[in-house]
Amino acid sequence: MTHETAEQIRDRMDRLLDQERAALLAGDLEMIGTLMTQKEEVIDALNAIGPEAGNGIKSLHGKVMRNQALLDGALQGIRTVAGRLSTLRRIRRSLETYDRSGRKSSISDVIDHQLERRA
């Protein structure tokens, strides 16, 4: 096991935060998961060093906040897409109409989405 200095560990975290930003912008969710594991290891290494690690950590705060905003945006986008897909599935399973008096009526399981093949 190598003994890194606090500065080397902070530099490693700085690089990880830059990689995380690139992965967030590219939408690479698998890479984000991998980087999360690596970030946890770096945080554990910083905690093992003690108070000495705190000197200079503030310089990483801006990058952490930037990445958190990107991650929040990505999660909101995923939630929006999931909601839209749910709505589309519901629409495909039923047909909603309105009668003469304006009351909504739903006809479920009427639409058959099978493709008929003929020779």
CA neighbor of 74 nearest in space, from 28, 37, 16: 28
Taking only the tens place, the pLDDT of each residue in 44-53 is 988 887 776 6
Instruction: Kindly list the distances between the CA atom of residue 6 and the CA atoms of 65, 97, 117, in Å, as whole numbers in the listed order.
Output: 21, 66, 68
Taking only the tens place, the pLDDT of each residue in 71-112 is 999 999 999 999 999 988 877 777 778 888 888 887 766 555
pTM of the predicted model over 0.85:
no
Structure tokens at 102: 């304006």
As beta bridge partners, residue 105 has: 97
In the prediction, which pLDDT does 114 show? Answer: 63
What CA–CA distance (Å, rounded) separates 73 from 114? 37
Structure tokens at 52: 């000495």
